[in-house]
């Protein structure tokens, strides 16, 4: 017998299409509720049915508007807790503030820790997320969780292409995960070496460690925000003689001017996932979006049934 009642799925405003795809995979309809934004910008949540004794999964990505979606998630968790849900799991395909994981300069916050505390205080019992920018964030939580990766989905896509290419990471900080990506594809690896110049948000690509001359290139990262790092990496590998350039990443944050930059780089294909909805005005013709819905749906089923999640990834 299950330790909890039936699965209940709720979709937040951050990724309704992805939530529906997850519901289709697990063959359970999304539960209905009202999410109201008052004229004073306060949020209100009301369930249409009881979740007493149920195993509840709240699917909410921290897409734009980021802080509204975070607050909506916290209020929804509190609402579910007060209706006596047996277990509440926050399914957060893209978790905001994962780049604020340490004090790397004086007088700054550790916002990722604050977010973890808020999710726990709201009443979540577990969490699930994909490709944290900093994996040590897992240690900020006292409640258990599953830190997943979409790299298996991206790797499978590129395996079908059978490219003779070089995998390139846009900075040395991503070297370890880039090495794993290259190993799965059985391809060589190169790195872009960078150093900070000017203010905190300005960086300069210095050199390429590795050879890409006459080769196709796959530039891999976990997220693309303004696309500044990708822009530098693409220009650098082309200067070093690369042929077709592919760019792949999990989270399409795409803050302005990312779409404009990406459209001007002559990239063969941009491969990402649906952890964050991409607005129509930012959907470039060469973007391919792969869904993480099957993976998240399977993790939800395994979590509910008390089966290993690691087995999905041969761990």
Catalytic sites, residue numbers: 194
Please say whether the dihedral angle defined by the alpha carbons of residues 215, 285, 234 and 184, taken in this order, is positive or negative: negative
CA-based angle 90:92:93, to the nearest 5? Answer: 150
Given a contact cutoff of 8 angstroms between Cβ atoms, the answer to whether 178 and 192 are in contact is: no
Rg of the chain (C-alpha set): 20
Please say whether the dihedral angle defined by the alpha carbons of residues 192, 197, 198 and 199, taken in this order, is positive or negative: positive
What's the distance, CA 96 to chain centroid? 9
> Where is 153: in which H helix or E strand?
helix 151-161
- Across-strand partners of 191? 169, 209
- Across-strand partners of 168? 190, 219
- Residue 283 CB-half CA count within 13 A: 9
């Amino acid at each position: 017998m299950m330790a909890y009642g039936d699965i209940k799925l709720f979709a937040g405003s951050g990724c309704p299409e992805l939530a529906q795809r997850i519901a289709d995979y697990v063959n359970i309809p999304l539960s209905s509720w009202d999410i109201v934004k008052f004229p004073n910008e306060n949020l209100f949540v009301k369930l249409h049915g009881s979740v007493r004794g149920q195993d509840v999964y709240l699917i909410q990505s921290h897409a734009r508007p980021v802080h509204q979606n975070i607050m909506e998630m916290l209020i929804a968790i509190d609402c579910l807790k007060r209706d006596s849900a047996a277990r509440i799991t926050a399914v957060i395909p893209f978790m905001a503030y994962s780049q604020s994981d340490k004090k790397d300069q004086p007088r700054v916050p550790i916002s990722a820790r604050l977010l973890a505390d808020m999710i726990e205080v709201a009443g979540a019992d577990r969490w699930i997320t994909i490709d944290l920018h900093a994996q040590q964030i897992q240690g900020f939580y006292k409640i258990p969780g599953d830190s997943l990766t979409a790299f298996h989905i991206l790797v499978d896509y590129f395996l079908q292409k059978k490219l003779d290419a070089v995998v390139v990471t846009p900075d040395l900080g991503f070297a370890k995960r880039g090495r794993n990506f290259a190993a799965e594809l059985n391809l060589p690896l190169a790195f872009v070496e960078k150093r900070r110049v000017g203010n905190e948000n300005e960086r300069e690509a210095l050199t390429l460690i590795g050879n890409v001359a006459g080769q196709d290139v796959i530039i891999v990262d976990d997220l693309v925000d303004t696309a500044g790092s990708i822009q530098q990496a693409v220009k650098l590998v082309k200067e070093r003689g690369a042929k077709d350039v592919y760019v792949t990443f999990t989270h399409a944050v795409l803050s302005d001017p990312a779409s404009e930059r990406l459209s001007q780089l002559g990239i063969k294909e941009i491969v990402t996932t649906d952890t964050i909805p991409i607005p129509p005005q930012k959907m470039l013709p060469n973007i391919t979006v792969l869904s993480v819905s099957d993976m998240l749906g399977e993790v939800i089923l395994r979590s509910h049934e008390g089966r290993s999640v690691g087995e999905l990834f041969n761990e």
